[in-house]
Amino acid sequence: MFGKMLEKLSGGFSRLSGRTDLLEGIAAAAALVAAADGDIEDEEVVAVLAALENHPVLSKSFKSSEIERIADTMLKRAKAGAAGRLGLMREIEEAKARSSVEDLEMLLVIAIDVSNSDGEMEPQEKVVLGKIAKTLNLNLSTYLDL
C-alpha cells in the first residue's frame, strides 16, 4: 500500500514539474481564501506559504523560491480589489482547463487547508471555497469531511 502511494506521489512530481499554471491556480485559490474576510493578515501569508511549501508533491516539483514568488504575486493580486480577485479566478479556470481531476482536488484541498490554518473555517472563507469548488466542478462538502 505504501509503495502504491509513493508511486502515485512520485508520478505527481514528474507530472507537475514545470507546470506553473497549476501552481499559479493553487496559489490563486489560497490567496482568495486568505483574502475572504477582506484583509490578508500576516498569519494568513504564513499559512499560504506553509501550505504550498510543505505539500509533498509541490515541494518536490517546484523550488521554494518559485513557490514564494508565485504565492507573493497571487497574494498581491488578492489585495487589488475586485479586478485582482477576478484575475485569481481566471488563474483557477486556466488551471482547470489543463489539469486532471486529481490535480484539481489538490488545488481545492490546499485552499481548504489554508482556511483551516487558524483552527476554524470562517463563513466568508466557506463561501469562497464554494465558488472555487463550483469552478472546478467539485462538490465542496466531499472534501470538507476529509
DSSP E strands in the chain: the ranges are: none
Cα torsion angle, 132, 116, 6, 16, sign: positive
C-alpha grid cell, residue 33: 481564501
pLDDT at residue 5 greater than cutoff 50: no
Residue 92 near residue 136, CB atoms below 8 Å = yes
C-alpha grid cell, residue 126: 466557506
**Domains, in order of start, for the chain:** 17-144 (1.10.3680)
Query: What is the percent of the chain where pLDDT is above 90?
Result: 75
Q: Tens digit of pLDDT for each residue in 26-61?
A: 999 999 999 998 889 888 999 999 999 999 999 999
